[in-house]
Structure 1
Amino acid sequence: HVWTMITIMSLSDGSDVHQTSTLWETKGDNATVECNHTKGGDYIYMYWYRQLPGENMELIVSTTAGNDDHDFGKSSKEKFSATKPNAESGTLIVKNLEPGDQGLYFCAVSQHSDTDTCGS
């Protein structure tokens, strides 16, 4: 077997965001990473990032509770999928794992979309 290690970390100002810690998965399998928080029902936005060894952190997908049309930006929907059934939880799925998928995966939650703008 070829194993891929996925280490998951939380971006939070406290202990109120929780994720799966470390996954060891077989090449070709899918890895499902869960993220939950207790910051409240108005934190409806969840962002998933990853940082591969020696590279900068990159945004994989932006999700919104109750919306299945997630924003994958430049990320491949053939490689990633996500669920956001409610404000307090969400998942990221990394599909068809390769050794190059090994790295740090981060979850962040917010009350505001990264596309929100302030009125003048």
Structure 2
Amino acid sequence: MSPVVILFVACLLRSVAGDGKGVRQMSDLLVRLGHPARLHCSHNLGGAFLLMFWYRKTAADGLKHVLSTAPFKSQPEFGNAGPGDFWAEQAEAERGFLAVRKARANDAGVYWCAVGTLHGDVRLCEGAPKMSDTLLHDANRTC
């Protein structure tokens, strides 16, 4: 069996005010080295939340903004994690994905999805680490 990369998805749902609305992500993913992988994210917060942000945390680098997407953008905006082998698609405001073309050992980490409005309201999923205002602002600015 060839080696695998583990992409941990750290959160499944954040319910806002107990109303069942929030950000959802798929569960953890095992990927063979050199193979593609997709991490899906969706929300039911309404069309105003049209920006999607992806973050990765590793022991070596800490928490980094990987990229941001929006349905009106043809290409993602890469964050401070650099483009690497990542890409993303978000055809509509409520769902999108982060993908790795060919998984490498250094792609292993914990990934979080967040969604936001053009006015700076950002929602994270349950279990996401507390992110500094600077990190959230820098991600929001890329869109």
Q: So what's the TM-score if we normalise by structure 2? A: 0.72
Residues 22-59 of structure 1: CA distance to partner in whole angstroms, max 9, x if unpaired?
10010000110100000111100000010112431100
Q: Quick one: distance in 2 between partners of 1:28 and 1:46?
A: 26
RMSD between superposed Cα atoms in Å: 2.1
Gaps of 5+ in 1: none
Q: Which amino acid counterpart does residue 61 of structure 1 have in structure 2?
A: L
Alpha carbons 1:11, 1:108 under 8 Å: kept? no
Matched, 1:51 2:51: no
Q: Quick one: distance in 1 between partners of 2:7 and 2:57?
A: 10
* 1:98, distance to aligned residue in structure 2 (A): 1.4
Matched, 1:22 2:23: no
What percent of counterpart residues are identical?
A: 28
Alpha carbons 1:29, 1:96 under 8 Å: kept? yes
Greater share of helix: 2
* 1:12, distance to aligned residue in structure 2 (A): 7.1
Q: Which amino acid counterpart does residue 20 of structure 1 have in structure 2?
A: M
Q: Quick one: distance in 2 between partners of 1:13 and 1:6?
A: 20
Q: Quick one: distance in 1 between partners of 2:11 and 2:46?
A: 16
Q: So what's the TM-score if we normalise by structure 1? A: 0.85
Residue in 1 that maps onto 2:99: 93
Residues 64-107 of structure 1: CA distance to partner in whole angstroms, max 9, x if unpaired?
1232122114522x501000100100100012111221110110
Residue in 2 that maps onto 1:115: 141
Greater share of strand: 1
Comparing 7-16 with 33-42, which one deviates more in the overlay?
7-16
Residue in 1 that maps onto 2:128: none
Q: Which amino acid counterpart does residue 78 of structure 2 have in structure 1?
A: F
Alpha carbons 2:12, 2:27 under 8 Å: kept? no
